[in-house]
Chain A
Amino acid sequence: MIAVRETDLAGLLDRVRSGDSLAIARAITAIENATPLGADLRLAVRGASGLCQTLGVTGPPGAGKSSLVSALISILLEQYPRIGVLTVDPSSPVSGGAVLGDRVRMAAHSRDPNVFIRSLAARGHLGGVTRTTRGVIDILAAAGFDLVIVETVGTGQSEVAVAGITDVKLVVCPPGLGDDMQAIKAGVLEIADLLVVNKADLPDAGRTAGYLKAMLYHRGHDETRAVLLASATTGDGLKELAEAVDARFAALGAANPGEAHLIVTRDVLADDAADLIRAFIRHADIDRLCGTVGRGELTHREGAIAAVNLFVDSQGSKE
């Protein structure tokens, strides 16, 4: 059994590493809720994502991302025995709640022990969801998943940023050259390694693909980006899409062997540093500091700097 509010880090990590669904789920919740256990977990599995491949899937609402991901999973399972999927949806800005419905389209994998799907709500704060998603990918990688797919709605900045933390970015477009295409123009295209026009069985798909190719060409993008046609409904083009994804992973590995998947960016370092400080905030010395800030003897900024100094001192005393 795992307690609903588990606190045993080592025990939980062991069960995560053994691939236990419930342990993985509880670890993800701890990271989402930024509990003390969650902070410890993040640091314990930091960098594990280097062990697996990550694929970001984004695109405008109605592009059929979830159906396409579901169909892709069936094919990619041949190559990646265990696949994790994160579907990120916006939270209501008013209430903070969310309706997470992407899984409805992934019912084919509802009882496959080799597919773990988790719905994440963006919970409002820009950057927060990126941070959470990084931590969750690490958990899934530590649990032995070979491939993690992150699906987001490609309309807002934060959603694009989430897709941005993956190794290969796939942008899904619906056929048609209307409003949806405007949404794609506004930034999502820039991050794409692969573009796929879904619902290729509908009219306009070929025209849309041609339009996208022309747009990329005019913007001077290199030829390694590809525009493909696929249909989650008929299955056409899915195999080719899976091969293209694979080829991108291979190209990444060749370009930067050894460190192909390790994403070390300023953001990650900043996140980790913040986690260290957050974990330290539970320290007793901080309580005294809080008192001085509370009484107005120090400004908040001065208090924060004092906290960082306390943290640095505590690290020195460990050595």
Chain B
Amino acid sequence: MPDTSPQPRILLTKSFIDSHDRAIATIALALRDAAMEVVLIDYEQPEDVVNVALQEDVDVIGVSFMSGGQVETTQKIFAELQRREVAGLPVVVGGTIRPFDVPPLEAAGVKAIFRGGAPMADVVESFRSLSRAYRGLA
């Protein structure tokens, strides 16, 4: 009865101006089929992501970047997590992540980076283990 295995809750998001949603839609279905609850939003400002993550009480935030904004948006999300006192909430990013994006993304604190062709099983497992760790179930 109690929360021995509550469904992981995941927020998947992309910018409102980015029309590329195949990756994020596919990952949402894969996470659903792995028994997770996935909230989807398009953010206008990076701060929206954190506000929604708080209201939805998610365990992991996944941000998709197909058309720019990788570093700037991610840094702003981390700053807002800090400000809203949920600095421990894990963030992963995916999409077009270029070599020069990686150092600043890692410095900001992203837990995982997924590029095109990453095996879906790895992506799903990463969300699952980050969720469990965040809930103290690891």
What 10 A-B pairs are tightest by C-beta distance, nearest first?
A97-B32, A25-B57, A110-B48, A33-B6, A33-B3, A101-B40, A29-B57, A97-B35, A96-B35, A100-B39
Residue from A24, A33, A95, A100 in contact with B34 in the complex, judged by beta carbons closer than 8 Å? A95
Give bound CA distance, A25 to B6, whole Å.
Answer: 15
Q: Please give the distance in Å from A148's CB to the nearest CB on chain B.
A: 14
Contact at A25–B54, with CB atoms within 8 Å?
Answer: yes
B122 within 8 A of A: no
Q: Which residues of B contact A96 (CB under 8 A)?
A: 7, 35
A94 within 8 A of B: yes
Contact at B3–A110, with CB atoms within 8 Å?
Answer: no
CB proximity to A under 8 Å, residues B45-83: 45, 47-48, 51-52, 54-57
**A-contacting residues of B (Cβ < 8 Å)?**
1-3, 6-7, 9, 16, 28-29, 31-45, 47-48, 51-52, 54-57, 84-86, 88, 134-136
**B-contacting residues of A (Cβ < 8 Å)?**
1, 4-5, 21-22, 24-26, 28-29, 32-36, 91-92, 94-101, 103-104, 107, 110-111, 116-119, 121, 123, 278, 281
Give bound CA distance, A110 to B16, whole Å.
Answer: 12
A-B contacts besides A4-B88, A110-B48, 11 pairs, CB < 8 Å:
A1-B85, A22-B86, A25-B55, A36-B2, A91-B37, A94-B33, A101-B39, A107-B16, A110-B52, A111-B45, A121-B37
Contact at B32–A95, with CB atoms within 8 Å?
Answer: yes
Contact at A97–B31, with CB atoms within 8 Å?
Answer: yes
Residue from B3, B34, B48 in contact with A97 in the complex, judged by beta carbons closer than 8 Å? B34
Contact at A111–B48, with CB atoms within 8 Å?
Answer: yes
Contact at A5–B136, with CB atoms within 8 Å?
Answer: yes
Q: Which residues of A contact B33 (CB under 8 A)?
A: 92, 94-95, 97
Residue from B37, B42, B51, B54 in contact with A100 in the complex, judged by beta carbons closer than 8 Å? B37
Q: Which residues of A contact B52 (CB under 8 A)?
A: 103, 110, 117
Give bound CA distance, A107 to B48, whole Å.
Answer: 9
Q: Please give the distance in Å from A171's CB to the nearest CB on chain B.
A: 25
Contact at B2–A34, with CB atoms within 8 Å?
Answer: yes
Q: Which residues of B contact A278 (CB under 8 A)?
A: 1
Give bound CA distance, A41 to B15, whole Å.
Answer: 36
Give bound CA distance, A91 to B54, whole Å.
Answer: 21
Contact at B47–A111, with CB atoms within 8 Å?
Answer: yes
Contact at B56–A110, with CB atoms within 8 Å?
Answer: no
Give bound CA distance, A196 to B3, whole Å.
Answer: 40
Q: Which residues of A contact B43 (CB under 8 A)?
A: 107, 110
Residue from B41, B44, B57 in contact with A26 in the complex, judged by beta carbons closer than 8 Å? B57
Q: Which residues of B contact A123 (CB under 8 A)?
A: 7
Give bound CA distance, A135 to B7, whole Å.
Answer: 19
- With most chain B CB atoms within 10 A of its CB, the pick from A92, A107, A110 is A110
Contact at B7–A121, with CB atoms within 8 Å?
Answer: yes
Give bound CA distance, A96 to B9, whole Å.
Answer: 12
Contact at A22–B7, with CB atoms within 8 Å?
Answer: no
Contact at B40–A117, with CB atoms within 8 Å?
Answer: no
